Structure 1
Amino acid sequence: MDKSPSLVVNDTVKEKHPSLIGGACIIASVCVGAGMLGLPSAGAGAWTIWSVLAITLTMVVMTVSGWMLLEAFKHYDLKVSFNTVTKDMLGDKANMFNNLMVYFVGGILLYAYITSSGLILQDVLGIDSKISSVLFVLIFSAFVWHSTRAVDRISVLLIIFMVLSFAFGVSGLAVKVDMSILFDSINEKANYAPYAMAMLPVALTSFGYHHSVSSMRAYYGDESKAKKAILGGTTIALGLYFLWLFSIFGNLPRNQFGPVIELGGNVDALLTALGSVIESEKVANAINAFSMAAILSSFIGVGLGVFDYLADLFKFEDTRQGRAKTWAVTFLPPLVMSLLFPFGFVIAIGYAGAAATVWTCIIPALLVRKSRALANGREGFRAPGGQIMIALVIGFGVLTAVFHFMAMLGILPAFTG
């Protein structure tokens, strides 16, 4: 079978050898953001055991689907992303729909992070939130404009800071975990399983790193190393999610989540609810610091993925001028939207989880199925599992999207505390 001109294998040998830890931290930083901060309220109905099952299942599926993208990309030059690969393999219509979903989710997340950071910096710096948002974008998007290596370096620092602030803040809660609260043994008639379905869309957004897969492949120049970095990143994220949920669910009784859920599950509402068990102001400040670092790391990680994706979409060159153009189309639209509609993302981000199922589950599975149909489909890197795994990943994505819309329509059981 003849291959299109873009189906070429890049044999470039990298002189530099980026660390797997750096790549894993980039992936983890993309995952650990606003999604994590929303997990406690999203999982309040399912509580500890079912929440752990939901996020573990999601982590496994999201890791495998990321590997499927790596396998589909192996026929292409290292600089390509979703746009070129999807267009070649699935056609213009599928590519156009996928483009819309990728940018919608990436843009909405950047929009949310920019707005949230502006509100946080307003309190810290004492300046207008809009000015804070502009400063935030100008300063921290510069790392993305500079290089993936710069993102690597700051991601490692942010992950270290997040771990330290998280450890200090959560340690104050972890040492006081009450097992009867953690497993809700005081409420023998409670029903948990039905609420796990509504949690899946939030769990999926907590592992939505797939727009960074091509960045990892280009960074390492090797699918096998990128595979390890992806697994490392999703494992780090899963571990942090476990610690976070155990610490929250082990201190704040399930029936006291009502006020948190009413206020959208934001960190301030959660800290207010935890006020009775947080005895130290330093612990509360550490959790706030962790939240800020999580938003910043996700902004940079998501920004890198969208940046590389749009560079491929618009065919901008990898020069200072070309990267400046890519920076403009990546960061200016969400910044402008944040300045004009600073609170509109609350509604829009609700649909981001459903939209993300397209490019985190469905498209990767369809791409790898098409890739394996090539004459040399069995050569080189190969994601685990055959047709059954492809069907399972697609099924997980479809069901997650269905659960999301069912929850928004009030069809799924809604936990109110």
Structure 2
Amino acid sequence: MTRRTAPLVAGICCIGTSELLPGGMLSQLGSALNVGVATAGLLVTVYAVTVALAGPVVTVLTVGAPKSRLATWLLGVFVVGNIVIATAANFPLVLLGRVITASVHGAYLATAIVVTQRLLPVERSAKAVTAIQFGVNLATVLGIPAGAALAQLGGWRTPFVVISGVAALATWGVHRATVHLDIGIPEPNARQEISALLNIDVGLTIGATALFSGAMFTIITYFEPSAVAAGFHDAAVPVLLVAYGAASILGNSIGGRLAGRARGPRLLTAAAFIVGCAAFLPLQRSVITFPIGAVLFALATFSLIPVLQSDVLDLAAAAPSLSLSTNMSAFGVGAALGSFAGGQVIRLHSVHDVPVAAVVLALGGFVLYGWRHLRPTAPAPVDRNKEVSHVQA
């Protein structure tokens, strides 16, 4: 991360924190807004659905806009949405604020990757996905625990006020860092973006992302009840989440290195994710092994995410925004799929069996991802290490 990319990463951190924060304080939100916990859960569900539906639509509607200016606008809309949440007098207004923030989620992340790639030197442009994903890691390690603490100290509105302020500063920083970036750079048109999205290999990768994401969220959504079932007290869950978040940063670093390599390491990363899901099944059952399972799962999960994003960026390099945004939407689809699958497993069996559903979804993702890489006419992935060596030579 450089001084010029830091505001973009800060924006991602704010978005990631705002996205996941309500899931950790549904009881508090329900009590304050006079709704049940199940109704308060709509703040999570509606957000995920909006991300899935709005990302590609917003990207198409803004396709000709200069990317750096677009990043500033989208982050500004996110600030407005959080202000609506922080000042809302009732549940429908909070839900409206969530819809506003979710509507720019996928488009901003996709745009931020493109802008970061332009900001970095050619020999480091492969790190754009890793740099942006680092913002999500920061949200996991710092943003969500800090937001939960602020909610306990000052009420549920406090973290959204702070997020609004930090995101406003990030918006100003993005503008300052990128004000002259797009001069002389032609932006792809809608036809080019749609053509890139319709590439069969892009489609297979996005489909794999949805299933892999479903596996991730099957476990992540029910992390707290799994920890309690293992024998932890509720108060220990934030500590476990910090350990999970720290492992996610290391995983992101590993994934960033593997994303720049050829076919074999990418497929091995996907296979390692299945192992991470499967390992959580026996390791989640005691207070001694649960943290080990959580760390292994975080390493496997966050090693895979940059690989998937990088694959889409490689395949749609000439016009990547719509494909990247749709891939972000696939994560939203996966979130809904995973939370539903995990809930059904708990209803029919027990919380200890949730990782079984994760393994099934991960295997489905691996089939699609393997097909994308191994079918006879599939293009070979770009080995950026060779590209970088050539540039440096």
TM over 0.5: no
If you compute each CA radius of gyration, which structure gives the higher value, 1 or 2? 1
Normalised by the size of structure 2, how large is the TM-score? 0.31
Higher RCO structure, 1 or 2 (CA under 8 Å, sep 6+) = 1
**Which structure is higher in helix share?**
2
